[in-house]
Chains A and B, each alone.
Chain A
């Protein structure tokens, strides 16, 4: 068997061996491959990635990281991730009694079995990183919200203008599920361009957030001086 962690079921290891050698997998979508990748990492390594999220310049690494992170946040128990992996393997033709072709799976994944649409980025810190590790807070998976609140939070000026054009009657003061208006969010995160547009459109600046703060106070606490001046009541 390949370098497996001991405590995985034989179904899981057989399924992964099958998936590593089956040729029809080249037709499988990148989304499924990524999901399999994330589940595999969860089951054999840890529930969440052990590195920080790769930058946007490393699209592949980032996609893989996200897939792993998503597996870790979706499946509470390792067993559930394992079951999901096996479930997908079955849809790709694996059965409990599929023959295990060990010869192929034992080869280091160098040339023949690499990639298939997903280009690798190999960490090069290697053993030169012996010592303790740098860690920062794990970042929750981000979902791109196509809402007023979503564009406000990610400082998406184009998105905001597009949104306002498409929905001219949209309520600029609407609250999201957490009770914040777009102005609250933009003031807190420090997105001056968004605030300028919202203010130009006559947004209500005295609305209190769930903690009783108006946007001006949120910007003050967060130290966004330019916004603070703009919103000064």
Chain B
């Protein structure tokens, strides 16, 4: 009676994904239902380079491996084309992520990236790119342990080849490449449940451009109101509430790095960024030319927006926020073909270190002000919606900033690492919702 037991759902065992569960049963990941570990640690030990498989995994005939050179505009374009036609869609197939070339360049080339971790599959005869998976290096802290991981993302197989079971071999091949560089852990996310999520977060949406969002059926007019009222109650103010808000500049990098490092210790899992990585994450995606060149409120090719709050008295950076642009194709809509979505990225505030700031609600108030300003910036850059997950300090502010609950969830996974569940949409082991997860995946 699988219906009663809910097994037929995403997380369950059923005919079709039994093969996948068989695949994951062979991988060093916690298996479903095994429960939290006594101690945090790896599942299988690291190996010297010579003990790692040296030959690529075999592909079905007619296909070949191809390392993608992300410095080559032509090859970035190939990845862009593959993803924009074949990548993640919602269940109704109404929206599909449309990562821009600039976005991919930003996401795939952080400091110390390995070109060997940008793994493609081509058709042997015509060299068409038909599958892709990527990893980028990151230093990750999970509770008390800090280690190198590969952040795995953009697993994509051409729609016509979904029956060829290329995904498991892509995962194995990128894992081999990661092992060859001496890294044995990974972090990744998925909308679907596979063995075994370390945390589950839910998407929330702050609606900005209501008429368009209703037109493309991103949201609906609730029974108890009209579009006119929906527009009114979601209207974004144009008055910034923090004093000293300005765009982050190169000269702020050290202060931002310092604030970020201290702030992120408050979460059970977070990345550790050095100065070069801070500059990459928050400054390298600002685009070309002047604000306005890429449309209202944007530079040409702008991917990230990072703002700091500078105390006018001390000139110290007290807060910062960032968000990135990730549009989606609105499938089959000619009037509004693109959904312009902003996603909340990292942020921090000195207020977090004031005594009792969380208990008294002071921190919540500060973030309502800081992230409220992020909404204004996004609104003025013509974004249609501003998205956030139930992670970091987001949970308490979502309601007051008029975010609505989304239908999407994001599962977080660790490869070859065991740890007890981290607080995402639900609290875990006394940790408040969100505070387990301090990693934003792109």
Determine, out of A48-56, A155-163, A166-174, A225-233, the stretch whose residues face the partner at the interface.
A48-56
Return chain B residues, CB-CB under 8 Å to A213.
226, 228
> With A137-B406, A222-B227 known to touch, is A109 a contact of B2 (CB < 8 Å)?
yes
B152 within 8 A of A: yes
For residue A16, which residue of chain B has the nearest CB? Answer: B5
Nearest CB on B from A209, distance (A): 7
A233–B92 Cα gap in the complex (Å)?
A: 40
A138 pairs with B1, CB closer than 8 A: no
A118 within 8 A of B: yes
Return chain B residues, CB-CB under 8 Å to A34.
3
B203 pairs with A135, CB closer than 8 A: yes
Choose from B16, B90, B194, B223 the contact partner of A136 (Cβ within 8 Å).
Answer: B90
Choose from A25, A44, A105, A132 the contact partner of B6 (Cβ within 8 Å).
Answer: A44
Return chain A residues, CB-CB under 8 Å to B154.
131
For residue B229, which residue of chain A has the nearest CB? Answer: A211
Choose from A124, A126, A136 the contact partner of B205 (Cβ within 8 Å).
Answer: A136
Return chain A residues, CB-CB under 8 Å to B6.
37, 40-41, 44-45
Return chain A residues, CB-CB under 8 Å to B409.
46, 50, 133, 135
B191 pairs with A132, CB closer than 8 A: yes
Q: How many A-B residue pairs have CB under 8 A?
A: 252
A191 within 8 A of B: no
B155 within 8 A of A: yes
Within 8 A of A (CB), among B1-31: 1-18, 20, 23
B33 pairs with A135, CB closer than 8 A: no
Interface string of B376-411 (1 = CB under 8 A from A): 000000000001000000000000000011111110
A109 pairs with B7, CB closer than 8 A: yes
> With A37-B3, A127-B168, A188-B228 known to touch, is A134 a contact of B8 (CB < 8 Å)?
no
B194 pairs with A52, CB closer than 8 A: no
A113 within 8 A of B: yes
A108–B2 Cα gap in the complex (Å)?
A: 9
Return chain A residues, CB-CB under 8 Å to B425.
46
Nearest CB on A from B306, distance (A): 20
Return chain A residues, CB-CB under 8 Å to B228.
188, 211, 213, 217-218, 221-222
> With A41-B9, A128-B156, A138-B407 known to touch, is A52 a contact of B3 (CB < 8 Å)?
no
A148 within 8 A of B: no
- Chain B residues within 8 Å of chain A by Cβ, number: 87
Return chain A residues, CB-CB under 8 Å to B33.
1-4
A120–B207 Cα gap in the complex (Å)?
A: 34
A19 pairs with B1, CB closer than 8 A: yes
Q: Which of A125, A133, A139 has the most CB of B within 10 A?
A: A133
Return chain A residues, CB-CB under 8 Å to B441.
132
Return chain A residues, CB-CB under 8 Å to B410.
132-133
Within 8 A of B (CB), among A1-45: 1-4, 6, 16, 19-22, 25, 33-34, 36-37, 40-41, 44-45
A108–B18 Cα gap in the complex (Å)?
A: 9
Return chain A residues, CB-CB under 8 Å to B8.
64, 109, 120, 122
Return chain A residues, CB-CB under 8 Å to B223.
140, 153, 178
Chain A at the B interface: SS class? loop
B5 pairs with A128, CB closer than 8 A: no
Determine, out of B44-52, B94-102, B138-146, B239-247, the stretch whose residues face the partner at the interface.
B94-102
B92 pairs with A132, CB closer than 8 A: no
Choose from B92, B95, B188, B227 the contact partner of A130 (Cβ within 8 Å).
Answer: B188
Return chain B residues, CB-CB under 8 Å to A137.
205, 207, 213, 218-220, 404-407
Within 8 A of A (CB), among B175-194: 188-194
A116 pairs with B3, CB closer than 8 A: yes
Return chain A residues, CB-CB under 8 Å to B3.
33-34, 36-37, 64, 115-116, 118, 120
Nearest CB on B from A26, distance (A): 9
A136 pairs with B94, CB closer than 8 A: yes
A202 within 8 A of B: no
Nearest CB on A from B433, distance (A): 12
**4 other A-B residue contacts (CB within 8 Å) besides A120-B3, A130-B189, A131-B153:** A20-B1, A40-B4, A126-B20, A136-B94
29 inter-chain pairs at a CB distance below 8 angstroms, sorted by A residue, are A3-B12, A20-B2, A45-B6, A45-B9, A48-B407, A51-B91, A54-B92, A105-B5, A108-B13, A113-B2, A124-B162, A127-B20, A127-B155, A127-B168, A127-B171, A128-B156, A130-B171, A130-B189, A131-B189, A132-B153, A132-B191, A132-B442, A133-B409, A134-B90, A136-B218, A137-B220, A180-B226, A188-B221, A222-B228
Closest 3 CB pairs of A and B: A135-B408, A133-B191, A109-B2
Chain A residues near B (Cβ < 8 Å): 1-4, 6, 16, 19-22, 25, 33-34, 36-37, 40-41, 44-46, 48-55, 64, 105, 108-110, 113-116, 118, 120, 122-140, 153, 178, 180, 184-185, 188-189, 209, 211, 213, 217-218, 221-223
